[in-house]
Each structure stands twice: as structure tokens, then as C-alpha cells.
Structure 1
């Protein structure tokens, strides 16, 4: 009998009770991309499409117990982090990731929810830069998150390209700066790979409020593809195609920033513009 031959991936993040982001979005993405998904719960939130009403951290001793439980039984091919809550939990996650082999690590540096609720204590950001990013295979900040990581505003292409280099210098191998927050006619993400290759992924900008969980979904798709053994460039493109399809094929849920459609198929109208 074949044991652990099915691709497996774990999300290390917070729970979204509304189901559109966090661990729930990751699991839906994993299922769509035909990998077996698992979770390590770092925090709980009371959350819906209107915002985050409250959050509660899981004791770090129990976070560690979850790590040990999964490592004892499964062959995890990739991992991703999302909401890590505070400095204590970032340290716990880093220490435990160093003690296990969960494959390449995708870091989604979740800091602020769509509604403006802070999801990461400010004193945890330095620890992400000094301890988490050096063990990461790829990091996927949006523009505001990248600005926090580098400490200066990103308003044009040259600043974004410089920021990617500065983030890569922190130790992470591959950097994706998502351009969704830039007010342009197209949505453009900048990618800097470990090989030195750099390029933009360009897609149609979709005018919609149904974008809750886009960052989680995008990074989860990349992790799923890495768990299947896909090269990083192909994994990133699939992630972009999946999130574009998830946004463009809208579903009607909630009264605020609605979730993306995790039933969606890949949207292949993505352009690759080499730098």
C-alpha cells in the first residue's frame, strides 16, 4: 500500500469564521488544486465580510503540539504562513518550522484586514524580517505590506523593483510584490526570483468589492503547486491565474467585501512581461 504519496500542504495561520480568508480560504484552495490540505491554527477571529470583530490567540504550547502531531504522521510537501498574531507566535512558528521538514515555505505577511483591523502586532514585524523570511522560499506582500517591510513608500515601478531587492536581501529566495493596491488600469505583480530573473505578471483590473481573502488564496495556490513539485515560476503563474479566475467569476456572499470564488477555474489571460 502506498503511504503519503498524495501531495500534502499545511497552512499555518488564523481562522476566519466568515470562511472567506485565513485557514478556510487556504483549505478551499488546496482542495481545488487537488492537494491534501492541513492546518496549524495560530489564532481565531470573529470575522465576516464587514470586518474583524475580534481575535484570540491560540496558546503557543498548543501551536507546537499541532506541529508535532502533523510531523509525526504526514509527508508535507509545502507550507504557508498567514496571520501569525504577535511576536510570541511568530517565534513559536519559526522555531517549529526549523525543527520539521515541511518543504518550501510560502510567507504571506498578513498585517491588516480589508476593513482596517490590525492582524499583526507591530513588534512582530521585526521578527518576521529577521527570523521568518530567512527560512522562506517565497514571500507575497501587497504594496502596503511591502512598504512596512522596507520602510519607504512604493509609488512607481523603480521603487517596487528596489523594494523586491531589499526584501530578498533579508534572506527570502523569491519575492512577489502584488500590485493590486496601485490605482492603474491593469493589475501588475512584480516578481524577483532567486535566479535573478525578474518580470511582471499583468492582468485585467476588475472593479469589484468581492476580494476578501485574495492574498490568502493566491499564496495558498502557490504552496499547493510547490507541494506538487511545480517549479517556482510555474507555481506563481498558476497562483495568478487562479486568483484572477476566483475574482472574475464572482459569488454573492455577505454584505461587505465578499469572498472570492474558490470553485473557479484558472483564468489564462495573464501576460508575462520580462524586465
Structure 2
């Protein structure tokens, strides 16, 4: 068995935990490759030590290849993680035997065009696509769904989220919480000046088109940021790929949902 190990080195205790896990895996004959090492042959699993941000980074780098991703939570919330760092001994044999369930999560594919409709690039993301103003002023963004205009949203910006991303930035902007097993696109305005512009839930078979009426900033999963000029457009649709999350516990999503939300409250309340 071959495993790629991805870590968040910014967390002070990750190095120690990673070294311990590598020794345990190697004891069972598992080949462990760190993310900065040369990869030969296809790995069986991506093992991620960190929080949701680290898992998102790893998924963007490796997940489109269809390789299962197992998150070991060492962050604040751990919505994408499956086990805690202290539970590795309980599950290591099942992990090595690849005795786990696979949960598939919908991804978004975005194609970005300049004002003259020249394509700039494509990007796949897990949580959300966000368009915001490049200054402290409001931004106007026109929205179309399958070519039908839904008008212009004027405010701090617009979020298009996946069901997985419904508990991230979209939630803080007033968007709904979704079962991650659903497939849908969630459109959430950020501090919209027109109070009649409410969050939308759109079928995954539709294509959203956002047109910037002012200069703005485009962000994918809070990690990749690109400046865009007035007139630029972003086409957003369901990706043909999915994120394959390895699940060793098979607990219902909402059984642990409240606990994870309370972690956020505890973190910010000290």
C-alpha cells in the first residue's frame, strides 16, 4: 500500500504526530510519501494531518485523480475530517486494509473570461467561489442561470457554494445549511444592498454566469485569489469530478454536526 502524507506544518504539534503515524504505518509495510517527495506510481490514499483548510488544499492537488482522502483533524472544526489524531491506533488496521466507506462530495468547476470573452483559466473548488469588491466600496454583479437573467446583486459580493461549503463562508453570510450528500449550487449574497435579493438554491444541472460590473476579486475556497477587471465573467457549474472522502466511522453527518459547530463557538470565545 502507498500513502501520500499531507500536513499543515504551521501547526506546532503536527510534526511530532506525523512522525509517530509514519512509524506506525511503516511497521505494517506501508510506503509513505510526503507531499514534497517525488511520486512514482498511483497512491492508494491521501492522508491529511490538519484542519479543513489543509484537506481542501490536498484535495485540490490530488483529489481530482479520484484518490480517496482521509482527514485526521488537528484543526478547529474538522467538518471534512473523519478521525481525531488520538484515534489513529483504533483505525490503523482498517485503514491499511482499505476497509472504509467512500463518501463522494460535489465539486464546482469555474471558467473565467475577460471582458472580451477571452478565456483566462479554469479552476475546481470544494467549498465555494466568492466574488468581492477590490476596495471598501460596494460591487455590482449580474447573475444569469442557464442564460436567464436574475438581475444585479449590489453589495459586498456574492458566494456560490457546494453543499460541503454550505457550512463555511456561505453560512456566515446567511446561507442555508445543507446535507453534504445533496447536489446543488447555493447562491448567497454578502451584505446585499437590496434586501429582496435572498439566497438561492439552484439545480446542479444548471450553469451560473456572474458578470462583474465593477473591478473585483475572485477567490476559490479562501485560498486562491485573482484580481478581475470590470466586465469579466465567471461560469460556474457542477464539476464532472467528485471529492472522495474515506470514512472509517460511518456516523450520520448530523450526529456530529452540533459538536463541530460548538467547536467554532469555543474557539472564538476562548
Q: Normalising TM by the smaller chain, what interval?
A: under 0.3
Question: For the pair shown, which has the larger CA radius of gyration, 1 or 2?
Answer: 2
Structure having the larger proportion of residues in helix: 1
Normalised by the length of structure 1, the TM-score is 0.27
